[in-house]
Amino acid sequence: MKFAVIVFPGSNCDDDMFYAIKDGLGEDVEKVWYTEKSVEAYDAILIPGGFSYGDYLRSGAIARFAPVMESVIEEAAKGKPVLGICNGFQVLLEAGLLPGAMQRNKSLKFICRQTTLQVKNNATAFSEKYEQDEEITIPVAHGEGNYFCDETTLQELQDNNQIVFTYKDDINGSVGDIAGIVNKEGNVLGMMPHPERATLDLLGSADGLPLFQSILNHWRKSHVVTT
């Protein structure tokens, strides 16, 4: 399986993502600069955290118009797995690949610590290696991670089982304690916590690794060659 890690000016978690795939999964992975016009050659697309374009206007608002994003949107429409973490989640929201928006944390302070998440849907390409309702430890590092959507959208997310991860505790004011959601098709995941920073016990938790293993496992099952 071949992964692409999209790099924007201001990305600062691209190395974390790169080595989560290279060392954690042992799979092929390449960094792809934001000026590239196509990501068609890759099996999965990863958008890392950071401060793309300095978070001017709104977090992710400028990165959404980077040349590479047109191809990212096209590949997502084909059903390829697309994962956006932290600023990557914000980019996916701005691009319309996921519903909702991000606001400043209710504390108006940057939050950087370990958090406990609950797996609300383990039947996705990103969560099948977890147990339903399993509690996992994943760090967060964000100032604008307060997920917001209107009541109608929240109801749709709940009805379609699109909420994949929730915070056990209210850490930033997110509606429904939402930490991560997928699109209706289930191939695009956005989440604020950083699983790429939780792939080894040495880092404080290895609970993030099953997320990447889920992507690989799901891809292998869909690419089984039968005779």
The catalytic residues are 86, 194, 196
213's enclosing H/E stretch is helix 209-222
CB-CB contact of 70 with 29 (8 Å): no
Measured between alpha carbons, how far is 22 from 27 in angstroms, rounded to an integer?
5
Which residues fall within 8 angstroms of residue 77, CB to CB, at 6 or more apart? none
DSSP string, 107-160: TSS-EEEEEEEEES---STTTTTSPTT-EEEEEEEESS-EEE--HHHHHHHHHT
- CA 206, CA 74: separation in Å to the nearest integer? 32
Cβ(105)–Cβ(145) below 8 Å: yes
Please report, as a single letter, which amino acid is at residue 17: M
